[in-house]
Structure 1
């Protein structure tokens, strides 16, 4: 078929209908009105995985290395997310949060977070034990910091509104199984139902499957997604917690530890831990996909990561298998909690990019190929930062067009 005879179904094909894919579609239509965008989502609705299965926190950006994409986009994105929710009447609240040190060994890390927050332009207040009780009467700690710009919202509702506000075509039940890319003819995608959709540029926002989609495109992502399941409980006595309470995180890991979060529905989420999932969408121990598991085992980085961090992993595994151990972790922050206060809730799976040398990718990772832009690492705080991420991806796509 000659170049002039190509019939494109759209200008931009976005693979993935989570919040990052829909924010990219939204940004494209804002930056270049008239750009034809089609979003392909394999589920029957938006935000069915990472976007819709988290604690709903609008992160301030305090944890992230100054100058990193996470720091820049989270700080900017938090303010923009609050504004977006207010504009469209989406449930949200700027609550602030406490980060609490319960052990003397954590105090230097807490002080380092104060400095990091100030470098990132985030208002931070240092608290002693008596001041902790003013915010959270049932929480105990040696010291804490209060971060005023943290909030909560309903990210599933945000994703649905991004789809509506962008006005783009979103095809649900459209799983991508093949990609044919030619430099002069654009990108053709075949779905599991046999439909073929042609576009000029492909944007890979496939989350838990982003490395697989990159390889379908013919690009080497240089990483693999290793899925980590985060298991949650809800608090039977939500009155024990007023707002958001976090431990001091270990800077060696991209996980924040077991925390307590009062959501927009008034319930309190407790969790998550971080255990290896046995499938990309392995929301319980019973969900096992041997082919996906084999793909993880075949990646050298997974073994190197396991060798380096097995002690940390063993603790997370213990908290997954023992409710008593999980309760003990919560009681460090909230001594009044009992095992019977923790009611099982739905789990989430984090799409964690791991490099060949075993490095856990800490920052957002966006890479470009011919007629393709791949978002290869966008776990938390990607929902918070989705509007700035979408604009950055849209900028790269429009340059490719």
Structure 2
């Protein structure tokens, strides 16, 4: 097989572009092509989130999420500074509003310290010093949290990587041989590479199956619904509730972005399509695939009460406002205006387990990134280096074989 490039990356979100960037930095002269089905970069998970640079406080000590988020946060701030990308280190409050949340808040303090994150415990009066309109029984302040423009980061990673990025290139067929990988796009274009990297996000499991691999998981899409706060002066920085440890979702929170506006959300409800950014977006084939996966039904049976609450807040603005008022009593329904939603590409295992860590798997001539929802944007630079290490190992093995 003649090769058009050395490494072919599928997916033009922040993880795909960070992987391309890391490959060319680690091995200058490596020919990299990125295929992105949309007309530009960062059109899905990367460009449809609250822009938070996560500290890593939530994640299990020793996990990839914990290690990469802590490392990635510092690197992301440095990258933004070096390239003139809007960002700010704001810090954030995690606030307990009920007594039964206090043990979980204390557990987060311990987890943060185990992950090497400085945290400060606050009482009610100290909460008001940081956020005058926020009320709670206790809180922790995490100083290393920030915000940035991840869309701009993705564009800069693409530019500075030197990779060839092809937009409007939806992958339809993957043929893997001993000598390389050939990919055919929807327009009939064929790209041949020595190695393939799958960073397809919401479609990563489908791409893995196209390559002939069984990923052992399915992406079950969850829509995150947001509002903009009409009175942004009510919030100075970032304010989060104490999360439910059974779920990877962080609850309805308030985030002041780099543009000065305040994002409120997200709610988390099942999406009826991989790119189902509203209740009216239904793709029967994708929905049938989700419903056919045994893990989907096991999640529903185990967590139906939690899901019912999320659905109620999705369908009732009054209920959503009530959830926000637990943290910010001054907010009213009139203060919340609908904002664009996002969809989380959550990997679910066959037994119904929600994958709680990044999943990166190798196959012949292929590296699959199979679970990279939040905090993947924060951790994108370390994830990219790990992907680069693995795919360059594939190329090194080929040279040794020769």
TM interval, short-chain normalised: over 0.9
Q: Deviations over 1:73-99 (max 9, x none)?
A: 000000000000000000000000000
CA distance in 2, matches of 1:41, 1:239: 38
Residue in structure 2 matched with residue 260 of structure 1 by the alignment: 254
Shift of 1:65: 0.4
Residue in structure 1 matched with residue 374 of structure 2 by the alignment: 380
3-state SS of 1:318 partner: helix
Matches for 1:36-75 after TM superposition, within 5 Å: 36-75=31-70
Matches for 1:2-401 after TM superposition, within 5 Å: 6-183=1-178, 185-401=179-395
Residue ranges of structure 2 left out of the alignment (5+ in a row) = 396-402
Q: Deviations over 1:226-252 (max 9, x none)?
A: 000000000000000000000000111
Shift of 1:167: 1.0
3-state SS of 2:267 partner: coil
Residue in structure 1 matched with residue 399 of structure 2 by the alignment: none
CA distance in 2, matches of 1:312, 1:77: 31
3-state SS of 1:357 partner: coil
CA distance in 1, matches of 2:158, 2:165: 7
TM-score (norm 1): 0.98
Shift of 1:347: 0.1
Shift of 1:7: 1.5
3-state SS of 1:188 partner: strand
CA distance in 2, matches of 1:106, 1:20: 34
3-state SS of 1:253 partner: coil
Q: Deviations over 1:168-213 (max 9, x none)?
A: 1000000000000012x21000000000000011000000000000
The alignment of Structure 1 onto Structure 2 pairs a total of residues equal to 395
Shift of 1:138: 0.1
CA distance in 2, matches of 1:168, 1:178: 22
Residue in structure 1 matched with residue 400 of structure 2 by the alignment: none
3-state SS of 1:345 partner: strand
Q: Deviations over 1:32-91 (max 9, x none)?
A: 000000000000000000000000000000000000000000000000000000000000
Point out 4+ residue stretches in structure 1 off by more than 3 angstroms: none
Shift of 1:148: 0.3
